[in-house]
Structure 1
Amino acid sequence: MFGIISALLAASSWTYACFLWRQQTKWFSALQINIIKNIIAFVVFFPALLIFDFDSSFKAIFILLLSGIIGIALGDSFYITSLKIIGTRRTLTVEAFSPICATILGSVILQEMPSLKVSAGIFIVSISLLGVALHRTKSNQILEANISKMKGFAFAFLSVLCAVIAATLSRFVLTNSDLNPFQTTEIRLLGGIIGLFPFIERDLITSIKKLPSKNKSSLIKATFLGTNLGILFQQNVFRTLPLGLGWTLLSTSPVISLFVAKEEGEKLDWETLLLTTMTIFGIGIVLI
């Protein structure tokens, strides 16, 4: 039950953080936002490293650093770029493929074969989320399938791929070492910073100083919710639940993102709500 609650909390915190991060794309590039949020999050959780035995956990550290580079440095940069192009809900709904990807990787790499019931639930969730992603939701502006939109979806798919690979590495460490979620979260954040370090620009601090106070507050709030709490909850999920099942629950973000759809100028129709209901139904099958 703790893993299930952690998954829903992670999805909620990540969804709201995505909404706040998208607002910051007016001031920063996706890469700059990723750098800022990871440095802030690393500082917040830094005490977790003070009780860490580096000598006996070298292999685990290396895998987690790699997980951070792939999932945070690359994956989050792709994700925030997608947010800027196609918006919060459409970016989140591209995660329709992530439960299936996670289930396949969990089966092949971690030997976690899901039951028939869980497989059926994961399939229903994935199809429902895909339907939401492809459905042309009514909005104040007519969406056009132009090159820019295609790039947005491409970045979203790349972010999903990076995230699932990083999740597989994280679960391997959490199930084969004594490291706790706080420690693994901090090491992954360090990996993300290492991956982003070559792209840190000298004028980044100046840009942050020029940011309005309201935006600074939103940036810190989004970082704490989406990066600190989001990854911490996520690590708890990977520690307690099989990868495929855990990722299916983490993929409830599109349902939660409906609460911010109005803020982004979207009007939801009955088809979107029906597909969302199917998503909830699929999750219900997994949990029964």
Structure 2
Amino acid sequence: MLRGEIAALTAAFLWALSTVIFGRLGKSLSPLVLNLAKGGIAIALIVLTLVIQQNLQPQLPPAAIFWLMLSGVVGIGLGDTAYFKSINHLGARRALLMETLAPPLTALIALIFLQERLGAIAWCGIVLTVGGIAWVISERVPAADQYSFNLKTGLLWSVLAQLGQASGAVMSRGALANTTVDPLWSGLLRIAAGAIVLVILVSSRGSIRQQFIPLRSRQLLPLLGIAAFLGTYLAIWLQQIAFKFTPAGIAQALLATSPLFVLPIAASLGDRITGRAVLGVMIAIAGIWLLIGTS
């Protein structure tokens, strides 16, 4: 009971934790290189786990393999790249705010293609959760963080990113629900497919070896390993568990709560948390309670 919901919230927490580390790494590595490097580490960790589990001969229907790999291409390879592009044009705060479109988009796509119908209480929970997150993220921040180089271009990239994320989630849900596909194998297929796209994108910018030179630093590599372990290996595994056992719209709404977990982490690092942020968290928690209550 509730294992999908618990997995989604745990993944959101791990993403929040790793985001702090990725923020530091992003000062030395380009987004594409960082995304590819963490994906490579996660693939190695998943393969090692499968070897330890002696789970190297899975029963994977061809249709499930196709949809999982396509979800990796769309959601991780293209969706994440579009998200990084949106950050460059909108700023991190506005890009995060646009991310709140993903849960309702996921629920709508799942309704159309998977016939997953959510009740009124579940929709209310999604609205409250997304609204609470948006309330926290949209809080006024110092002018240094409020840049907008090209609003129209940024919004276009952001919408494409959310469509990629939502479509990838529904494809994963379709491949995992009511099947015997192992969430760990589905995570491996998704990350591997996304990595193929990232290799193509990184190689189009010049020598891959040259772009990976900063990773020779003894300071960066351990941080990257920790972030990849928490935010990619464990979080993607938990994400796939969430998609297997929870309707796509509800799972995506719970997975989107990572900005809420960032607040206590930021407070522990000395940042001031406002009353507005606390209110937003309370609204989102009410939505989470409704979502869990409908399960």
TM-score bracket for this pair, using the shorter chain length:
0.7 to 0.9
How far off is 1:252 after superposition? 1.3
Q: What is the CA deviation profile of residues 52-79 of structure 1, one whole-angstrom value per residue up to 9, with x for unaligned ones?
A: 35xx622211111111111111122334
How far off is 1:276 after superposition? 2.0
Q: Which residue of 2 aligns with 1:223?
A: 228
Of 35-44 and 72-81, the range deviating more from structure 2: 72-81
If the length of structure 2 is used for normalisation, what is the TM-score?
Answer: 0.84
Q: Which residue of 2 aligns with 1:271?
A: 276
Kindly tell me the number of residue pairs found equivalent between the two proteins.
283
Q: Which residue of 2 aligns with 1:169?
A: 171
Q: Which residue of 1 aligns with 2:262?
A: 257
Q: Which residue type is aligned with residue 10 of structure 1?
A: A
Establish whether residue 109 from structure 1 lines up as the match of residue 110 from structure 2.
no
Partner Cα distance (2:71, 2:122) in 1 = 26
SS at match of 1:147: coil
Establish whether residue 119 from structure 1 lines up as the match of residue 120 from structure 2.
no
Partner Cα distance (1:258, 1:150) in 2 = 29
Q: Which residue of 1 aligns with 2:219?
A: 214
How far off is 1:215 after superposition? 1.3
Aligned-residue sequence identity (percent) comes to: 28
Q: Which residue of 2 aligns with 1:27?
A: 28
Question: Which consecutive residues of structure 2, in runs of 5 or more, have no partner in the other structure?
Answer: none
Counterpart selection for 1:62 from 43, 58, 66:
66
Establish whether residue 72 from structure 1 lines up as the match of residue 73 from structure 2.
no
Q: Which residue type is aligned with residue 51 of structure 1?
A: Q
> Where does 1:77-226 land on structure 2 (aligned, <5 Å)?
77-81=81-85, 86-87=91-92, 91-137=95-141, 139=142, 141-147=143-149, 155-201=157-203, 203-205=207-209, 208-211=212-215, 212-226=217-231
Partner Cα distance (2:152, 2:266) in 1 = 20
Q: What is the CA deviation profile of residues 4-46 of structure 1, one whole-angstrom value per residue up to 9, with x for unaligned ones?
A: 2101110011112222112122222111111111111112112
Q: Which residue type is aligned with residue 50 of structure 1?
A: L
Partner Cα distance (2:251, 2:181) in 1 = 19
Q: CA RMSD in A?
A: 2.7
Partner Cα distance (2:270, 2:138) in 1 = 18
Partner Cα distance (1:143, 1:203) in 2 = 32
Of 201-210 and 215-224, the range deviating more from structure 2: 201-210
SS at match of 2:27: coil
Partner Cα distance (2:152, 2:132) in 1 = 21
8 Å contact 1:22–1:83 — kept in the other structure? no
8 Å contact 2:79–2:161 — kept in the other structure? yes
- The alpha-carbon distance between structure 1 residues 98 and 237, as it changes in their structure 2 partners (threshold 3 A), is same
Q: Which residue type is aligned with residue 18 of structure 2?
A: A
Question: Which consecutive residues of structure 1, in runs of 5 or more, have no partner in the other structure?
Answer: none
Partner Cα distance (1:244, 1:176) in 2 = 17
If the length of structure 1 is used for normalisation, what is the TM-score?
Answer: 0.86
Q: Which residue of 2 aligns with 1:10?
A: 11
